[in-house]
């Protein structure tokens, strides 16, 4: 297994831990700073996963249950307070709308959490063949879905971090 695959697994695990333990953050700024540190690294690491080393098809079970997702989302919403909502400009429906489309940082972070949590739990103690299959699945999903979520949530996180000096 290549180093960037191992790095991706480690970053995914670190991200999941940060989301699961967001209530323990010293402040909103510390939590947002942690997200701003992890998310670009996850993006680069996922983008750089080498397709030729991956299985042709992959599958990841849905492991995170709705209650855990909602609990994490509420915890992040509570931490971010009124800074949780932002106007989304890259929504496909935006070009047809006269009204702004609101989005939630907490929901975006938890959508990423769901993908990465399911991945981490799938590869935990798995044989290399299953790991490569899961990596292929998460990379394909990244290319078509969650890379957009990751990029979209960076802008409001950056705004919170540099405008909320509490």
CATH at residue 67? 1.20.120.1550
Q: How many domains in the chain?
A: 1
Prediction pTM value: 0.91
* Domain span including residue 150: 3-163
pLDDT at 136: 92
Task: Quick: pLDDT tens for 55-78.
Answer: 567 779 899 999 999 999 999 999
User: What is the signed CA dihedral for 67, 126, 111, 14, rounded to 10 degrees?
Assistant: 100
At residue 164 the predicted structure's pLDDT band, cuts being 50, 70 and 90, is confident
Measured between alpha carbons, how far is 43 from 150 in angstroms, rounded to an integer? 8
pLDDT at 95: 58
Higher pLDDT, 130 or 54: 130
* Mean pLDDT value across residues 18-24: 97
């Amino acid at each position: 297994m290549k180093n960037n695959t191992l790095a991706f697994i480690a970053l995914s695990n670190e991200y999941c831990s940060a989301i699961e333990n967001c209530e323990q953050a010293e402040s909103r700024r510390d939590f947002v700073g942690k997200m701003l540190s992890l998310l670009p690294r996850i993006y680069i690491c996922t983008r750089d996963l080498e397709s030729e080393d991956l299985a042709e098809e992959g599958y990841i079970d849905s492991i995170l249950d709705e209650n855990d997702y909602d609990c994490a989302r509420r915890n992040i919403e509570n931490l971010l307070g009124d800074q949780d909502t932002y106007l989304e400009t890259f929504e496909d429906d935006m070009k047809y709308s006269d009204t702004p489309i609101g989005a939630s940082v907490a929901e975006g972070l938890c959508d990423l959490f769901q993908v990465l949590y399911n991945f981490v739990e799938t590869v935990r103690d798995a044989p290399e063949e299953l790991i490569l299959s899961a990596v292929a699945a998460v990379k394909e999903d990244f290319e078509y879905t969650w890379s957009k979520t990751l990029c979209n949530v960076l802008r409001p996180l950056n705004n919170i971090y540099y405008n909320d000096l509490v």
